[in-house]
Every structure is written in structure tokens, then in C-alpha cells.
A and B are shown apart, each in its own frame.
Chain A
Amino acid sequence: MPAVSMTVNGKPVTGDVEARTLLVQFLRENLRLTGTHVGCDTSQCGACVVHVDGIAAKSCTLLALQCEGAKIITIEGLAEPGGALHPMQEAFRENHGLQCGYCTPGMIMAALDIVRRRGNDLDEHTIREQLDGNICRCTGYHNIVKAIAAGAKAMAKGGARQAAE
């Protein structure tokens, strides 16, 4: 089996994987980072969104081998090492932007990518359009939209690091 190496949440990792192994399988099964979820297998729901070299990507649609040498950030890599939550995580909790929690890691990772692309001052319309790649069945999006707007603002205030840095 071919070997693959990448940096995940700041730590160098290597593994022997079948060529067909998806990035999400490598993260979940080889590295036991189970915060990244699989919801649809067809790149529709976004439960599997992680950051690859600073850009949001659906880890169910990437092969692990494609990520050779890449810097990956998953939901587990967002909080400060000391435990302080990222402002976007905090905003999801504060605004009740989650119910069952299954889509949440992908939502938070996608939200950070929206901030990266569209800045910290996000209106409702922009957030709704930009969330096209993420499906939530619980919340009706109302509080997710609020959470992302608040999280984006909080990131500007606190000068929070971008997740992918």
C-alpha cells in the first residue's frame, strides 16, 4: 500500500493507505479524528468539510493520496491548545446554531471559509448563498446564519487567527 504523509492540525502524520482511501476515511479511521462526518457520499451535504491548505474542501471527495504534503485542519484543530474555543465555535453555541450536532463540524469549517472569502461583515443573504454546500436537517438554518454572522464579527474583533494558518 502506498504511504501518505501530511500535516493534520499542526502535527505531521503518515500512513499506509489503499490508493482508493478517501481523505475522510484516513482522518476518521487511521487518525481517529471522528469529528469530521460523512453525511451523503456525493459532495452535497458538507458534513465532511475540512481545510486543505487553507481552503475548505469536502473530504469525502478527495483521496488521501491527493493530500500528500498538504496542511489539513479539522474541527479538532480549531480550539486553542489551551482549550479556548475559536470565536466561530463559540458563536455556534451562543446562537444555538446546532441541534443534533452531526452537520456542525462541517458547518463551522465552511463558515470559516466564508469569512476567508467574504470578510467579517456578512449580511444574511450572503451567508445563505455561501452556505449552499452544507445541509442541516435540524435547525432550518435560522440560527446557523445568525451564528456565522456573529462569529465572523467576533473574529474581526479578537483578531482571531484564521483556522488554516
Chain B
Amino acid sequence: MSATGIGATVRRKEDFRFITGQGQYTDDVVRPGETRAAFVRSPHASAKIKSVDAGAAKKMPGVVAVLTGFDLAKDKIGNLICGWMIHSKDGSPMKMAPHPALASGTVNHVGDAVAVVIGETLAQARDAAEKVKVDYEVLTAVVDPAKAQAAGAPQIHPDIAKNTIYQWHLGDAKATDAAFAAAKHVTKLDIVNNRLVPNAIEPRAALAEYDAGTDNLTLWNTSQNPHVARLVIAAFVGMAPEHKLRVIAPDVGGGFGSKIFIYPEEVVCLWASRKVKRPVKWTADRSESFLTDAHGRDHVTHAELALDANGKILALRAKTIANLGAYMSTFSSSVPTYLYGTLLSGQYDIPSIYCEVDAVYTNTAPVDAYRGAGRPEATFVVERLVEVAARQMGIEPTELRKRNFIKSFPHQTPVIMAYDAGDYLASLKKAVEAADVKGFAKRKREAVRHGKLRGLGYSTYIEACGIAPSQAVGSLGAGVGLWESAEVRVNPTGSVEVLTGCHAHGQGHETTFAQLVSERLGIPFENVSIVHGDTDKVQFGMGTYGSRSGAVGMSAIVKALDKVEAKAKKVAAFMLEAAESDIEFKDGKFTVAGTDKSAAFADVALNAYIAHKFTGAELEPGLKETSFYDPTNFTFPAGCHICEVEVDIETGKTEIVNWTAVDDFGTVINPMIVEGQVHGGIAQGVGQALLEGAVYSKEGQLVTGSMMDYTMPRAHDLPSFHVGLTETKSPSNPLGIKGCGEAGAIAAPAAVINAITDAIGTENLAMPATANAVWTALQGAKPRQAA
């Protein structure tokens, strides 16, 4: 391993610009003649728009234009869409309600945009937005997903009965019911997977510019996948043909899923810039982020686990209502279905599984993928069921897990997935040792002496990452392929640019991708630069989400590097006057086998471009190769997280006193970056378990609409984490990578709740387990005695 190659802890290339304040985020980009947009948003969760009067607003100083949903409809701007088709169990397609970028008929959630004011300055645009008079007829809202399908509930979209988008199912109902009938023990849980607000610290932003001379539109935006944004805005919204629209996602300040989707504001800024013939910029304030970023989770589930007398799991069944909000966001339909139901086997050999999911509309912000997307919800169901079953049956939780772990691979689950590699015993064993589980009983006894209840919780999670192959996801309803592209451009001086279809928004691709290229070509790490995020520079690519950039994106780079090496060998053969088959490439040097004749990589690159050693008939000049890589399977990162807590008996406040994570991510490119991803994921999972929860009033007002009301995890809410690794390579990609971006957020909530319920002796505890919630639960509970 070289100092900068695969497996090395290399400091990040991208850091210098960020620690010196020189990052270029969307709001930092300024275009000549730029105007600012301020949106007029609905204060009501459900209302008919009777009229919009922009007269007074138009007379305000600095106003360039006021545009409404009626103008948008007149210009025939198309609706936003959801790109993943789900069919109900009766075979009918999901029911997608129209989602215009500006509403003109009804508004369906607080924050739904009705009009936009374009002003010379932001202050002027905002002042004028307050003067836009919208006359609403307020309607009754439906907010609670569990009540959305009830008879007599208000119907949000005409023609969509019972607010039901689809009624999906997966697995064998009959076999599962039979297994339950024969079971010795059944564990039942009612679970609410709390609604979360992603809260990337950089708010969403869009800057659109129209060039009347070329009829081209350019959009700078906070996107995790600029090509997908361009495709949707061109092909479905119909804003401009794809080749006349350029999307640039520069530095992006965190995404966590929320910046995958195509949002109304991007559409409106593009449309407005063409109308006013000036650049239009919009940057969300945090309140707008809360009201309009796609939220995450929001499941209501009843789940059951059937076991025999020895604790062998026989079957699992779950019935879930998933809240998708007022409109179907870009990939919302896939999250509570193929990213959730397919993971209900966990790390366990479960013969029968049956899962039903009803997706419903409510008068709330759209809900879509948020870090983990479906897999945290599945893990929470499985890991709570297993832990509670162990407690009920008097079997040690680790022992019950061991009895049920999948031990041979490949393993076909009853819910689509074919796990290809893993060693679940290894990660459990390593985590148990690292967490000093042996010493827990003593620590628990000591805690009681100072008024604290100690608890230990496990989460042996699995996830499906990479989100590919394309043919597989296509058969499940995806409207796109999920391969990735790469282009490797070797310059005449031997330096290399890699253009990737992935997008980095904190993951450090500029470093890890360069590590791969440096090792593979034997050239200095500094001589490699990574280009991403601009549809005019990079060929079509799918972007970054689902922990896919390593497994899929880097594999595409490997394939392109293979081609570069093959072409370079031809060049070297001409230079060294040898047969191509005799050329060997190692450590950045081409040699003729069995001789001392050699050429350095940079010399070969130069010769590829000057083309003096071969004719055009013999070889094309240049050294640049492209690859589109589609993997053969999902990847299956898995591991064991152990959370140890102390609960204050007097106040119910939980303190996490120890966190141990042992994850199997396959090949690790840069351990420092991987650990950082794990830390951040755990923090978001702990946030869900202890602190975060989006709350709507029954009228549909977002009560937790700012960081003063919605509790973001802070430094003093979290411990330092002990992070370790085990490794089984993924066989589905050439590097053996599984992916690490979401693991922490997937594993953590179940580990925390398992730990607290272990401490307080009741399973009746919902997330977020605030001090108040835990104290309340404690009042009805009998704490378990120290073992």
C-alpha cells in the first residue's frame, strides 16, 4: 500500500478551501445583473385559492416581476414527478397527484408556494412578497397518516380516494400466517418511526440564468445529482430541451438525501429568469427549509415476530402506513417499499416474511429519502422485535441473534434480496469484546448507587447499498438506471482528470477517488483531480445517494482505468519497439518483459498525444477513456452497534456513556473518511432516537419549524464513538466495496431504544426518547434488577 493509495489515511484535498472560507456554494455564486426571488407561501395546510392579487406588490420599490401559479399554468410549465412506479397488490398503478411548482387551484401544505416576487434586492423582494394578497378558502386538513384513510377524512386530491397512493405488499402471506399459527412464541410491537427534518446546514438554493443569445438556461443548485435534475426539468417539467439546460451543483453543504429531489423553487427560478431575462437567485431561509425540504421516515407500523421454543425465528410480518406528505417527491414511492420491505430479513435466516405498506397523502411537506431511506425503518422493526423477543423468552439478546444469523452465502431472503457476502458473527463478537459487555453487570450495579439506570442495546443491522443494478431496479419500478459513469482524461504531461457522475457534498470524493487513480496508475496523488457536478463538463451520471459512490462510482473509474492502461500499452509498444503483448505496467512504468527497456507513464501520455511513433492508421492519438458501469448486485454492508446508556431516575434524561460500532463495509479506501461517515451517521441516528421529531398541529401547522423548536443533536448530546471494522469483500464490484454512508443512521436508533428500554424495564417507549418521554415511561415501569 502506498502512502496515498487504497487503504491509506490521506488528508482531504478539499479541506483547504473550506477551512479558509473559499468554498463555492450556490449562494456564493453571483452573476451580473442578478435578481433575488422571494416566495409567497401558503400559511394554510389545506385551502382553495380564490384569487391572487399582485397589484400592490408590483408597485413596491425594486420589484422586477410578480409571477403566480396562474402564470405558470398559462406558460404550460409541467408538473414535478415521482420517478419510481409502485403497483398496488391489486395490480393498479400508484396514484400520483399533480404537483405544480406554484399552486393555482389548491394549496396542500403550509409552505406550498403560490407566487414568487423577483426583486432587485432580497429585502425588496421580501417586502413585496408580503404585499401579495391571496384570498384562501380554508379547508380541513388531514395530518396524521394513521387517520388519512379513515371514512370521512378530508380528501386531499380529487380522484384519489382515502388519500391512498398505493397498497403494496411483499412476501408470502399464506406461508407467513401458517408459520405464526405454529409458533411457540409471538412478539408484537406497535412502532412509530418518527418524522425527521434532514437539516443539511447549507439551505437549499437555486440560481438560474437565461442566455437570450443562445436560448440556453443554466442552473446552479444544491443538488446531489445534477444530471437527474436536468433530465427531470427537461423531460417532465418541459422547461427546456436537455441540451439547452446546464445544471451545475458546486460545493454542496450536506445533503443526506434531501438534495436528491427536484424542487419547485428550481423550476420557478429557471422559468422566471427566462421571463425577466436576468439571473434569478433564491436561497432558502431555515424556516423555508423546514417547511419545504422533503422530510424523512414517518411510518406507523404494527410488526410481529414468530419463534419456536428454542428462539429460532419462523416468520415476520409487518403492516405499515407510510406518510408521503402532500405531493409525491422524486423518489418517495420507493422508500417505504423496495428500500424497506426488502430489508425485513435483517441479518437473520427467516423462512417467511410478509409486509404490507399503505402510502398516504397528508397535508404536510413531502416525505422522501433521508439518510438510510427505508433501511433505518426496517432495521428498527427487526432489531426491536428481536431484542424484545429475547427479553420475553429469557434468552440473552446476543444468543438469540447468533441462533438466527445467516451463516452461509449466498443467501436468498424471502423478500427479494440475495445477500452475497458477510460474517455477522464476526462483527458481533468483535463489538461485544470492544464494548466490554462482560463488565456491564458491574457497571450497572455501580450506576444504581448514584441514581442512574444503565442499559445495553444492540443493533445488528444490514442494508442494501449501491442502489443498482439497473435491470433489477427497473423491474421494481425505477424510472432510471442506477449505473455510474466515469471518464479518465490523461493529459499530455501525465496528470489526470477524472470526471465522475457522482457528486460529493461532504464525502471527500476528491480525495478517495484520487487515491484509487494514484495507486492504479502509479502517479502522484497531487497529479490527479476529480471533476464533478457540472452537466456541461461531465457526461450523464446518476449522482450520489444510497452509499453508492464507492461501490458504483469508483468501479466505473476502475473500468475506465482498465481501458486507459490497455491503450497506453499500445502506445508504449510503439515507443519501445516491442510487441504489445510483451508490455507490462507496474508502479507507473511500462516495461518490455525480460528487458530493461521502459517508459514512464508521463512519457507514454505525451507520446499518445504527439503521436510521432505511430500512424493514424495504426492507432488513434490521445489517452482518454470512458466507462459506464452497472454492478451485478446490491452491496450488503452490515455490522453491530452497541449502545450503553445511563438514565437519570429522577429526570428521565438519557446519557449515552459508550458507543461501539463494528461495521463490515468491504474494502475501505480511506479509513479516516470512513470513520467520519460512521460518526455522522450515528449522530443522525441518535438524533432520531433521542431528540428529533417533526411535529405538526392537527391544523397542519409545523410546530417544530425552526432550530429553536426542532432539536438538532449538539456536541454535548453525543459521546465519542469507538469505531471498528471487519471485512468481507463485496463480490458485486471490482473493488469489493460495500459502502459506508448510511450505516450509522440505520443502526443507531434501534441500539439506543434497545438500551434505554433495557435500562428502564418497559418496552413502551416512543422516539424521540426525550427526558420527558423516558420519565413518563419510567413511572409505569419496573426497572430490571442488576443482573
Q: Is B682 an interface residue (CB 8 A)?
A: yes
CB < 8 Å neighbour of B202 from A39, A79, A139, A140: A39
Does A120 sit within 8 A of B, measured CB to CB? no
Judge whether B18 and A104 touch: CB under 8 Å.
yes
Which residue of A47, A96, A140 is within 8 Å of B721 (Cβ)?
A: A140
Query: Given A40-B706, A137-B199, A139-B680, A93 and B11 touching (CB < 8 A)?
Result: yes
**One of B301-309, B502-510, B552-560 at the interface:** B502-510
Check if B715 sits within 8 Å of A141, measured CB to CB. yes
Output the least CB separation between B749 and chain A (Å). Answer: 14
Our pick among B21, B286, B715 for the contact of A33 (Cβ within 8 Å) is: B21
Residue of A nearest to B256 (CB): A137
Residue B582 CB within 8 A of the other chain:
no
Interface residues of B in 231-267 (CB under 8 A from A): 251-254, 256
Interface-facing stretch out of B22-30, B100-108, B434-442, B516-524: B22-30
Is B476 interfacial (CB-CB < 8 Å)?
A: no
Interface of B is mostly: loop
Tell me whether A15 is interfacial, beta carbon within 8 Å: no
* B19 partner residues in chain A, CB cutoff 8 A: 75, 85, 89, 92-93, 98, 101, 104-105, 108
Contact A132 B715 (CB under 8 A): yes
Q: Is B720 an interface residue (CB 8 A)?
A: yes
B32 to chain A, nearest CB (A): 14
**Surface stretch bound by B, among A51-59, A61-69, A123-131, A154-162:** A123-131
- A139 — nearest CB in chain B belongs to which residue? B680
Proximity bits, B705-737, A CB within 8 Å = 1, else 0: 011100011111010110000000000000000
> What is the CA–CA distance of A35 and B508 in the complex, to the nearest angstrom?
19
Q: Which of B448-456, B534-542, B671-679 contacts A (4 or more CB under 8 A)?
A: B671-679
A93-B682 contact, Cβ under 8 Å, with A41-B285, A44-B712, A103-B201: no
Q: Which residues of A contact B12 (CB under 8 A)?
A: 93, 96
Q: Tell me which residues from 77 to 136 in chain A have a Cβ below 8 Å from any Cβ of chain B.
A: 78-79, 85, 89, 92-94, 96, 98-105, 108, 124, 127-129, 131-132, 134-136
Q: Which residues of B contact A92 (CB under 8 A)?
A: 15, 19
Is A34 in the interface zone, CB < 8 Å from B? yes
Is the C-beta of B203 less than 8 angstroms from some C-beta in chain A? yes
What is the distance, in angstroms, from A149's C-beta to the closest C-beta of chain B? 11
* Chain B positions within 8 Å of A105 at CB level: 18-19, 21
Query: Complex: how many Å from CA A91 to CA B712?
Result: 25
With an 8 Å Cβ cutoff, the count of chain B residues facing the other chain is 57
Query: A74, A140, A143: which contacts B21 (Cβ < 8 A)?
Result: A74
Decide if B413 is an interface residue (CB 8 Å cutoff): no
Closest-CB distance, A146 to chain B (whole angstroms):
8
B52 at the interface (CB under 8 A from A): no
A102:B715 contact, CB within 8 angstroms? no
A164 within 8 A of B: no
Residues of A within 8 A of B203 (CB): 38-39
Please state if A135 and B707 are interface contacts (CB–CB under 8 Å). Answer: yes
- B718 pairs with A102, CB closer than 8 A: no
Contact across chains for A100 and B201 when beta carbons are under 8 A apart: yes
Nearest A-chain residue to B255, judged by Cβ: A100
Flag whether B573 is at the interface (Cβ < 8 A): no
Residues of A within 8 Å of B682, CB to CB, are 140
Interface centre among A37, A40, A131 (most CB of B within 10 A): A40
Q: How far is the CA of A18 from the CA of B712 in the complex (A)?
A: 33
* Mask: chain B, 1-45; 1 = CB below 8 Å from A; 0 = not: 000000000011011111111111101101000000000000000
A102 to B256, CA, bound (A): 14
Q: Assess whether B676 is in contact with A40, with CB atoms less than 8 Å apart.
A: no
Taking a contact as CB atoms closer than 8 A, the residue among A38, A79, A100, A128 that contacts B506 in the complex is: A100
Q: Establish whether residues A98 and B15, one from each chain, have CB atoms under 8 Å apart when the complex forms.
A: yes
The winner among A33, A75, A99, A131 for most chain B CB atoms within 10 A is A99
CB<8 Å pairs between A and B, sample of 27: A20-B123, A34-B21, A34-B24, A37-B25, A39-B203, A45-B707, A47-B201, A76-B21, A76-B22, A85-B19, A89-B20, A96-B672, A99-B508, A100-B200, A100-B252, A102-B25, A102-B201, A104-B19, A128-B715, A132-B714, A134-B714, A137-B199, A137-B201, A137-B256, A138-B506, A141-B679, A142-B679
Q: A39-B202, A102-B25, A139-B680 are in contact. List 7 more A-B contacts (CB 8 A).
A: A37-B253, A38-B27, A39-B286, A44-B706, A47-B201, A102-B202, A142-B718
- 8 shortest A-B CB distances, which residue pairs? A35-B21, A102-B253, A101-B18, A140-B683, A100-B506, A99-B506, A140-B679, A75-B21
